Amino acid sequence: DIWIRHSAVGFISVVARSSNVADVQCKLIPLLLPYLNYSGNRKNLIQVESELALLYALKDPLPRCIYDYLVKLPSLRNLFDCLCERKISRSITRVGHPPSYREMESSLLTVYNRLQSDGMTEEVEEQILLLKDHLQKVQIKKCNDMSMSSSEKDTGEIDLNLLPIPPQVHNVSLVSSDNQFEKPFQTIQSKKTSKKKSGIDSPIMVRVLYDF
Nearest residue to 39 (alpha-carbon basis) of 106, 112, 143, 123: 123
pLDDT at 112: 92
Q: Please give the chain's pLDDT, 212 residues, in tens.
A: 788 889 999 999 999 999 998 898 888 888 888 888 865 555 555 678 888 888 888 888 899 999 999 998 888 999 999 999 999 988 888 888 888 888 888 889 999 999 999 999 999 999 999 999 999 998 888 877 766 655 555 566 777 777 767 777 777 777 666 555 555 555 555 655 655 555 445 444 444 444 44
Q: How far apart are CA 89 and CA 93, in angstroms?
A: 6
Smallest Cα–Cα separation from 79: which of 93, 65, 69, 89?
Answer: 69
Phi/psi at 23 (5° precision): -65, -40
- What was the pLDDT predicted at 129? 93
What's the pTM value of the predicted model, to 2 decimals?
A: 0.62
Domain range list for the chain = 2-57, 64-92+105-148
Phi, psi for residue 58 in degrees, rounded to 5:
-70, 150
| Torsion angle of C-alpha atoms 176, 177, 178, 180, degrees rounded to 10 | 10
Q: What is the pLDDT of residue 143?
A: 76
Residue 149, pLDDT score: 59
